[in-house]
Amino acid sequence: MERLIEWISQPWPWYVAGPLLGLTVPVLLILGNKTFGVSSSLKHICAACVPAKIPFFSYDWKKEIWNILFVSGILMGGIIAGNFLADPEAVVVAQSTQEDLALLGISQYQNLLPAEIFSWNNLFSVKGLIFFVLGGFMIGFGTRYAGGCTSGHAIMGISNLQWPSVVATIFFMLGGFAMTHLLLPHLMKIAGF
User: Domain-by-domain residue ranges, the chain?
Assistant: 1-86, 93-193
User: Rounded distance, CA 193 to CA 185, Å?
Assistant: 9
Q: Which of 117, 96, 95 is nearest to 106 (CA)?
A: 117
pLDDT value at residue 110: 65
pLDDT value at residue 111: 64
| Claim: this prediction has a pTM higher than 0.75 | no
Q: How far is CA 106 from the centre of its chain?
A: 21
**Cα-based torsion angle of the residue sequence 49, 156, 75, 70 in order, rounded to the nearest 10 degrees:** 60
pLDDT value at residue 126: 78
Q: CA–CA distance from 61 to each of 41, 73, 144 (Å)?
A: 10, 18, 17
Q: How far is CA 56 from the centre of its chain?
A: 23
**Neighbour count for residue 165 (Cβ, 10 Å):** 21
pLDDT value at residue 72: 92
Q: Where are the beta strands (DSSP E) in 53-183?
A: 109-110, 113-114
pLDDT along the chain (193 residues), means of 10: 77 86 84 82 84 81 88 90 77 82 75 73 78 82 81 82 89 89 80 66
pLDDT value at residue 170: 92
